[in-house]
Amino acid sequence: MPLSTVLFCSRKEIQARPAWPNWAVISVNDTCTYPANLKPGWERVLRLTFDDIDAEQEPYQLFSSEQGREVIEFVKDFTLSGGDGILVHCNAGISRSAAIAKWVAERYRLPFPNSYNLYNKHVFNTLREEHILIGW
């Protein structure tokens, strides 16, 4: 069965939520905080560390092309393995997680709120560009 759902939420929500069978998590962390404490049982977990910025800004870490390729490969591998859904979280569950979820939704033709525009444009555009460069 192909990937059917992508959702995004906050760090607080993911830490309180039990794992869902056959779901993956993309866990986005700020450079100044510890990784989220996820409940055991998620099918797969990708942990990334970058800040919610859209241009180089010291001392913060910008989402990189390498991280974009890492997300793309993770999603591709999980989808090919028959995963049901992907839950993406960041600290507030508004910008970075939404950008990744929006890209997944676009790539797999999944629902995403049409009017939602608070996603991080740099993260979303980096994923689009890397997807084109990879040729997948």
Q: Residues 49-73, buried b or exposed e (16+ Cβ, 10 A)? A: ebbbbbeeeeeebbbeeebbbebbe
- Kindly state the percentage of the chain with pLDDT values over 90: 95
- Give residue-wise pLDDT tens across range 80-120: 999 999 999 999 999 999 999 999 999 999 999 999 999 99
Q: What is the pLDDT of residue 130?
A: 95
**CATH 1.10.510.10 corresponds to the domain 5-134:** no
Strands (E), the chain: 5-10, 23-29, 44-49, 85-90
pLDDT for 136: 65
Q: What does the pLDDT average to over 28-49?
A: 97
**DSSP tag of 21:** T
- With beta carbons less than 8 A apart as the criterion, state whether 108 and 41 touch: no
